Amino acid sequence: MAEGSCPEDLLYHPEHDWARIDPADPQIATLGITWYAQDALGEVVFFDPPSPGTVVTKDQPYAEVESVKAVSDVVAPFSGEIVEVNEALVDDPGAINEDPYGEGWLVKVRISDPSEREALLDADAYSATLG
């Protein structure tokens, strides 16, 4: 994972969370934390996935990521309902560090209000906030 990368195909929340709208089904979005977030946290040691069915609200925390030195809230870029969680992270939380945009995905949600994407940033705009 290239240092400081922000994939072009993602939408970003200023609190260092990303969303990938499923090309096959625009109602489903995959969520995770950005390269910047995992770098600031340091070695991730624990992630306890929320349960499928949990309702998430845009801008509100829906889970926590725990590293050796801190515990950080993960904020939802979209409102909706969790339909799938990345159980593999329970045994391998380090995937969040190694591949934050791929194997390190956290949850998938069914979006309740697609217009919320207007409030999110594209890769360039998000990168600019990191300056």
Partner 1 sequence: MLAVIGVSSVQEIFDRQVPESVRLGRPLSLPGGMTTLKGAPSGAHPEGHTLAGTGRQASEQDVYAHLRDLAARNTSAEDELSFLGAGMYDHYVPAFIDMLMERSELLTPYTPYQPEISQGGLQIMFEYQTAICELTGLGVSNASVYEGPSAVASAGYLAKLHNGRSRFVVSAGAHPHTLQTLSTYAHGYGMEVVEVQLRDGVTDADAWASAIDGDTSAAIFAQPNFYGAVEDATALSAAAKEGGGEKLVTIAQVDPIVLGILAPPGECGVDVAVGEGQSLGNRLDYGGPSFGFFAAREAYLRQMPGRIAGETTDVDGRRGFVLTLQTREQHIRREKATSNICTAQALNALAGVAYLSWLGREGIVELGELLLSRTRYARETLCALDGVSALHSQPVIREFALRLNADVAAVKRRCAERGVNPGVDLHALTGREQDRGGLLVAITERRSREDIDRLAQALSAAVAAERQTAVTA
Would you tell me which residues interact with partner 1 (CB under 8 A)? 46, 48, 66-71
Nearest CA to 62 out of 82, 45, 43 is that of 82
Which CB, 71 or 125, lies closer to partner 1?
Answer: 71
Which CB, 3 or 91, lies closer to partner 1?
Answer: 91
Written as six digits, the tokens of 30 are: 């995959």
Q: Given phi > 0 = left and psi -120 to 50 = alpha, else beta, which region is 16? A: left
Residue 57 Cβ vs partner 1, minimum distance, rounded to whole Å: 18
Which CB, 64 or 84, lies closer to partner 1?
Answer: 64
Written as six digits, the tokens of 115 are: 């217009």
Which CB, 66 or 84, lies closer to partner 1?
Answer: 66
Give the chain's length: 131
Residue 117 Cβ vs partner 1, minimum distance, rounded to whole Å: 30
Residue 37 Cβ vs partner 1, minimum distance, rounded to whole Å: 16
CB 33 within 8 A of CB 102: no
Specify burial of residue 84 (Cβ count, 10 A radius: 0-12, 13-18, 19+): middle
Residue 13 Cβ vs partner 1, minimum distance, rounded to whole Å: 21
